[in-house]
């Protein structure tokens, strides 16, 4: 396998990675999948186990109880909430619903959007996030980038893999530009709940004011439940709602995920705990590595950092390969547009694992 192939290992590809490097997959620590390391809360485990009989029933056809729980959690009307089989089903449903001719993606970003736009016959163009703006964009760049065919703007906020986020006020500027041109804006907030001051960055409150906005979230990362496949979207656009719902299969969320969601969204103790642990580890990791002068950290409102290697002859792929042989899996970002071969992405795990990774990085780079 060449370097260009090695650098495409996704965070969830632990099995493939283990096979390639002849490792025991159960020993690999994945700093690349961005999943919160605390695992499921005790409360969820107990309540879900006690309710395992839900498997013998169909979920609600309209998922009203689950949507009510989400409605309380995100403070948005239940009629504006659509649930899906992971945010992935909703990314697909939204892109199908908009069926964009020309979609703008703030890049580098998560790759699934591009695949979906392509599957629907649309064209996607990258608007580069600017390093000098800590990986945000200038509103004039957006204005100049819009063409008559543009009908969708896609952004991930906080962005994967750059970590930084536009504030709610900055999002308003983008939404106003989009509205002027009749453009729908899709914002993926998969990572927003990790942020200590997430209220400054949230787009959900804006769904009341902007009907050209749809916001997406899921439970895979923050609630450490990627196998559950549960996501949700919030929009006040009747056109989008009916179009997304019309293309969905009935019961696409199983009754275990339906029950788990109802429990998770009210588990305020767990939510606070995840945020606290993330904030502590983010601070520890940055402080430890930054003082060596070999790692540049960019602002992050997520549970991972975009880190630039500096003052070293090691590339991101060298670092990836070196670490993986010690069962430490990070994300080499050299396959992402605009990033070259000196960027890595690292999500926080528990303190002991983070310490091990920090030491391994310091001794190699
Ligand atoms: C930005 C982003 N959105 C969506 C997903 C997929 O989420 P889900 O498991 O909810 O389908 C991921 C997974 O890596 C992601 O990074």
pLDDT in tens, 223-260: 999 999 999 999 999 999 999 999 899 999 999 999 99
255 lines ligand 1 (CB under 6 A): no
Residue-wise pLDDT for 155-186, tens only, equals: 999 999 999 999 999 999 999 999 999 999 99
Strands 343-347 and 331-332: antiparallel
Average pLDDT over residues 22-40: 95
- Taking the centre of ligand 1 as the mean of its atom positions, its distance from the CA of residue 2, in whole angstroms, is 27
Residue 14, pLDDT score: 86
Q: Among 3.20.10.10, 3.40.50.1370, 3.30.1330.60, 3.90.1150.10, what is the CATH number of 3-40+269-364? A: 3.90.1150.10
Residue 15, pLDDT score: 87
Q: Give the whole-angstrom CA distance, residue 93 versus residue 184.
A: 14
129 band by pLDDT with thresholds 50, 70 and 90: very high
Report whether pLDDT(288) > 60: yes
Ramachandran angles phi, psi of 83, nearest 5°: -105, 155
Domain boundaries, the chain: 3-40+269-364, 53-266
- Taking the centre of ligand 1 as the mean of its atom positions, its distance from the CA of residue 1, in whole angstroms, is 27
Q: Is the peptide bond before 158 cis (omega within 30 degrees of 0)?
A: yes
217 band by pLDDT with thresholds 50, 70 and 90: very high
Nearest 5 degrees, angle CA 30-CA 35-CA 39?
Answer: 100
Report whether pLDDT(17) > 90: no
Residue 13, pLDDT score: 80
16 band by pLDDT with thresholds 50, 70 and 90: confident
Q: How much is the mean pLDDT over the chain?
A: 96
What's the gap between Cα 170 and its chain centre? 19
Residue 1, pLDDT score: 55
Residue 365 has which token pair? 């780079």
Strands 150-156 and 102-107: parallel
Give the residue carrying structure tokens 């649309």: 122
Residue 330, pLDDT score: 97
Average pLDDT over residues 91-104: 97
Residue 272 has which token pair? 């606070």
Q: In what order do the strands lie in the sheet with 213-218?
A: 81-84, 231-235, 213-218, 184-188, 150-156, 102-107, 123-128
Taking each helix axis from N to C terminus, what angle separates 255-264 and 42-50, rounded to the nearest 10 degrees? 140
Q: Give the whole-angstrom CA distance, residue 147 versus residue 144.
A: 8
Residue 2, pLDDT score: 59
Domain 53-266 adopts which CATH fold?
3.40.640
Average pLDDT over residues 124-146: 97
Average pLDDT over residues 261-274: 97
- Taking the centre of ligand 1 as the mean of its atom positions, its distance from the CA of residue 291, in whole angstroms, is 32
Report whether pLDDT(5) > 80: no
What's the gap between Cα 14 and its chain centre? 18
Residue 238, pLDDT score: 97
Average pLDDT over residues 316-345: 96
- Closest by Cα among 189, 193, 196 to 166: 189
Pocket test for ligand 1, best of 94, 107, 110, 155 (most atoms within 8 A of CB): 110
């Amino acid at each position: 396998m060449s370097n260009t192939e090695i650098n495409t290992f996704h965070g969830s590809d632990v099995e493939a990675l283990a096979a390639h490097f002849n490792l025991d997959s159960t020993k690999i620590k994945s700093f690349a999948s961005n999943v919160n390391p605390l695992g499921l809360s005790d409360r969820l485990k107990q309540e879900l186990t006690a309710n395992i009989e839900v498997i013998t029933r169909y979920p609600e056809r309209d998922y009203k109880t689950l949507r009510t729980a989400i409605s309380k959690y995100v403070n948005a009307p239940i009629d504006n909430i659509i649930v899906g089989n992971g945010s992935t089903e909703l990314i697909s449903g939204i892109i199908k619903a908009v069926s964009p001719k020309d979609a703008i993606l703030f890049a580098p970003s998560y790759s699934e959007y591009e695949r979906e736009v392509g599957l629907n016959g649309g064209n996607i163009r990258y608007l580069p996030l600017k390093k000098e703006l800590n990986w945000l964009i200038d509103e004039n760049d957006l204005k100049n980038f819009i063409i008559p065919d543009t009908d969708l703007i896609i952004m991930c906020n906080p962005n994967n893999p750059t970590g930084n986020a536009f504030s709610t006020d900055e999002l308003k500027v983008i939404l106003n530009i989009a509205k002027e041109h009749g453009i729908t804006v899709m914002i993926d907030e998969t990572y927003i709940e990790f942020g200590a001051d997430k209220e400054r960055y949230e787009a959900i409150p804006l769904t009341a004011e902007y009907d050209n906005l749809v916001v997406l979230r899921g439970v895979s990362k923050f609630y450490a439940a990627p196998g559950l496949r549960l996501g949700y979207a919030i929009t006040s656009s009747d056109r989008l709602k009916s179009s997304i719902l019309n293309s969905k299969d009935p019961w696409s969320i199983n009754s275990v995920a339906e029950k788990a969601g109802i429990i998770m969204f009210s588990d305020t103790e767990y939510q606070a705990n995840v945020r606290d642990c993330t904030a502590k580890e983010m601070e520890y990791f940055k402080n430890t590595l930054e003082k060596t002068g070999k790692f540049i950290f960019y602002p992050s409102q997520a549970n991972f950092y975009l880190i630039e290697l500096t003052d070293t002859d090691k590339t991101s792929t060298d670092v990836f390969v070196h670490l993986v042989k010690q069962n430490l899996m990070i994300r080499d970002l050299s396959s992402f547009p605009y990033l070259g071969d000196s960027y890595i992405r690292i999500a926080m795990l528990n303190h002991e694992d983070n310490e091990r990774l920090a030491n391994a990085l310091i001794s190699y780079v």
